[in-house]
Structure 1
């Protein structure tokens, strides 16, 4: 608490304004408490934001399998937090604001490089057709190599960042051959629509929403990237909320399986949650909704190859030991 500034003698304060000094002390105390809370939240350690007595706090992205769990109210006892992208979700893990969440394949690498503490406890089948490079038909681009010297928009640290790396490799190009513009989906869509960028690398459902007349899919991740989903959990929650996590994962698995078995009802259920029309929702789900899967040594190796690729290009400070963060204790739920 700051000390009062000493001033020259002054006449006594009127007695009609009682309690002024206690309020000042109280305000100072509140300020200290707030500052201490912010400091703890920002430090990113395993105890930040921990509240083991409350509901499980789940971070999700619009469209992922967790959106279906929420839309069906299949896990009514959890607390939901919506994020526009995986990097934003991993920052919430760092701050201790969520216990568990779902992201694409690049965010775990960038999070680990940023010293965010988490474990990878589940994944999905590959979703290579769920992300793509979009261009305008009238621009005349026919393959990715045509984008040499052009401006390409994408969300930094997201799954499409790895797709960019793989596309460059496949076309004997480097990052120096294109102008990369890092934009979040809400920023990239108008930039793409208004021809402020030449190409946009994006994932579903933003991908499906952008599939308008005059838009061409230049390439997707087929043969280049798996584009799996990954389930991340904080180490604190992993140790103190193991039963809650298991129960939630069982619901996540059963809801995902139900959606795959009932695609039409899944579309009707999910479209209002996504705030997207049913036709667009169905198109995106048909290529991007995949079953969940356990984490295996092969999954760890796949993630490590992604981390090594980002490190080689100096997109993250390396080395990043991402394989060691794979935790298979819930494999029976996913298997």
Structure 2
């Protein structure tokens, strides 16, 4: 357990911008500044070294990545479904140019077997940890809705993954709602998956790009998206090679990477009006619960200009 905890600490140490090297530059020295989280297609793309004209910056979570877009520190990055909504509510300017197929098994509610919880309703009055503004925030909303509960029926503890893991391990919280690969890292004897997002949330990934990058670097964005799709497709077709390549990048054990990738790696997909409607429903749900201060027009952030690259 100490070894796993140490590995988890390595994975979650980066809470803010961390430069991670880059690729070749164009003739005029222009590069695309890419924000990524450990795991997912972008990590594979970085590991294969095929994204030319790209520099890489590592983030612990989607909310931290969207803050970097707001600050003008990166041009493009990938998050779950909730961070774009919280970012838009906070005034961040961006467009959504791509998504993924649904990944409902890639996020879950974890509990300790010894506590005897058999359903989410058993968590009434209990402490439930999650990262505010991340994809699991929407899963919590849907779990409460499915179980005819209100957010006040549980004790929500908003903790980042690096804070939530020790709290969960030491029984300071009763449940942890978390995504891969942190989810896979936390799976151990005595830990139980109480529920995942199946039938509740699509848990897609979204690729966000700044308006400045769309205006000044459209060719770099298009080329990045093309290579990103090719590498993602290669990884799905070659799962064992993908695991071997990603283990050094993710800094997690091979069995953990294999389990997480097996349920969470999905192809890229274009954005369209239906994706806009899906995100708008989530945004309206957050506004109704006052998790964001007011309703936001998320549908207007959908930019299908690159759909031809993803079909």
TM-score, reference length from structure 1: 0.84
Q: CA deviation at 1:54?
A: 3.1
Query: What CA distance in whole angstroms lies between the structure 1 residues aligned with 2:196 and 2:142?
Result: 11
Corresponding position of 1:130: 106
Which position in structure 2 is the counterpart of 1:230? 206
Structure 1 residues without counterparts, runs of 5 or longer? 1-51
Listed as ranges, the matches of 1:1-335 within 5 Å are 54-335=30-311
2:44 and 2:53 mapped to 1: Cα distance? 15
RMSD, matched Cα:
0.8
Q: Give unmatched runs, 5+ long, in structure 2.
A: 1-27
CA distance in 2, matches of 1:301, 1:274: 33
Give 1:53 shift.
5.2
Distance, in Å, in 2 between the alignment partners of 1:53 and 1:324 is 32
Q: Deviations over 1:178-197 (max 9, x none)?
A: 00001110110000000000
Aligned residues: 284
**Deviation (angstroms), 1:76:** 3.8
Q: Distance in 1 between matches of 2:139 and 2:285?
A: 11
For 2:279 and 2:45, the matched residues in 1 are separated by 26
Corresponding residue SS for 1:330: helix
Residue matched to 1:21? none
Please say which structure displays the higher CA radius of gyration.
1
Once the two structures are superposed, what CA deviation does each residue of 1:207-260 show, in whole Å capped at 9, x if it has no partner? 000000000000000000000000000001011100000001011000000000
Q: With structure 2 as the length reference, what TM-score do the two structures score?
A: 0.90
